[in-house]
Amino acid sequence: MRILVIGSGGREHALCWKISQSVKCSKIYCAPGNGGIRHIAEVVDIEADNIDALLKFAKENRIDFTVVGPEVPLVKGIVDKFQKEGLKVFGPTAKLAAIEGSKIFAKSLMKKAGVPTAAFEVFDNIDSALKYAAAKKLPLVVKADGLCAGKGVVICKAQDELRSALKSMLVDKAFGTAGEKVIIEDCLVGEEASIIVISDGKNVMPLASSQDHKRIFDGDMGPNTGGMGAYSPAPVITNELFKKIIDTIIYPVINTLAKDGMPYKGVLYAGIMVTKDGPFVLEFNARFGDPETQAIMPRLKSDLVEIMERAVDGRLDGFFIDWDPRPCVSVVLASGGYPNKYDKGMEIKGLDEAAVMKDVMIFHAGTRKGRRAADSDKLLITAGGRVLNVTALGDDLQKAIDNCYNAVRAIHFDKMHYRRDIGAKAMGRKK
């Protein structure tokens, strides 16, 4: 099969890497790809949200199967458009990608399906929002309804924070139409984990559990980022809890949508808060997590292409996934200053040395080929805030952590920043 992967991050590199191992795959294209992906796929210079150009490319290049990485093209209806042209594509339609594209859709669905989630109300007017909040205990969480590139959630510990979050979204329209409506919800306390499943509309194939690290600094300090590292499995998700999440969260959502005539095909990602009262859903995503995918794919022994094809065809029933039992740790190497202002164009050194280390995989996120006349093919430079995902398996979690950080230490670029505690929370739990 000729496979097109859409996206340009570490997630897409991990997906291309796994897809490249499939016996079903004869050629991979990636649009737009990055400096690492180009070694395993032919990169195509089309942005991930340019749906018309992607469709034209897929038709002209006889693409057999398309895998959509990021949420924006899904929410914009790429699956609907590809399907209409008879092209096979992995992901939910726009109506269903609203599970990520609209917090209000997701919360209403959870309410209907009886899925545990924080109590909430919807507002489009600051006065009624403030009146509601005045009667509640702080902290409260304000969420813009639409997609805001991970910036639409504010945890408000004080009244002035709440007022300014609401003003910024509802009055100043900081997120445009995405913030015209907001949710105010109760703040949950606990440990977060990600449960990612693949669904064929009826059956569910859970992937291994994982845990992301959202904050920029060690000890979960500093501002939120796109994710600074991940590990899989997440020890907070015991086997019993895993089953409970699948039975009381994932299946009720999939069944409710199917009953409403909207079978959900593709990835369903549940961001879970494990509270003292059990698991609660923080959010749903309609695609693979980034950086969780980078920690999950190295553990997947089964053929990813077969799983995705079965999901599209409605044939997941009776299929079993084979996992490498060894834990996997993935650390993000970021540009200094990220998630705020940072420089690009820094030369990356030490990758070859790190890449040959045992059980180490390096997934690129923000990299591109440099332009040095003499050996331009060798020069790799930074091209984003999150630059690399250094990933390693290990016989146990401590070994995975050690393998990963050994590889990290071999790599260098100017102003490189990374968290030194990826995996530490899981180690603490084990002890």
Q: Helices 94-101 & 103-113, crossing angle to 10 degrees?
A: 100
Burial class (CB in 10 A: 0-12, 13-18, 19+), 318: exposed
Nearer to ligand AMP, 34 or 211 (CB): 211
CA pair distance 408, 410, nearest whole angstrom = 5
3-class SS of residue 422: coil
Nearer to ligand AMP, 272 or 390 (CB): 272
3-class SS of residue 79: helix
Kindly state the smallest distance separating residue 140's Cβ from ligand AMP, in Å: 9
Residues near 231 by beta carbon (within 8 Å), at least 6 away in sequence: 210, 211, 295, 327, 328, 329, 330, 397, 400, 422, 423, 426
Kindly state the smallest distance separating residue 127's Cβ from ligand AMP, in Å: 23
Tokens for 37? 């992906």
CA pair distance 262, 201, nearest whole angstrom = 8
Nearer to ligand AMP, 66 or 194 (CB): 194
Nearer to ligand AMP, 289 or 384 (CB): 289
Kindly state the smallest distance separating residue 378's Cβ from ligand AMP, in Å: 38
Whether 12 contacts 30, CB under 8 Å? yes
Which residue of this chain has its Cβ atom nearest to ligand AMP in the complex? 283
What is the H or E stretch that residue 384 is in? none
Kindly state the smallest distance separating residue 401's Cβ from ligand AMP, in Å: 22
CA pair distance 270, 24, nearest whole angstrom = 29
Kindly state the smallest distance separating residue 118's Cβ from ligand AMP, in Å: 4
Residues at the interface with ligand AMP (CB under 6 A): 118, 141, 143, 153, 155, 185, 187-188, 192, 214, 271, 282-283
Whether 247 contacts 264, CB under 8 Å? no
What is the H or E stretch that residue 220 is in? none
Kindly state the smallest distance separating residue 270's Cβ from ligand AMP, in Å: 10
First to last CA, the chain: 46
Whether 245 contacts 271, CB under 8 Å? no
Kindly state the smallest distance separating residue 86's Cβ from ligand AMP, in Å: 35
Neighbours of 286 (CB within 10 A): 26
Nearer to ligand AMP, 225 or 403 (CB): 225
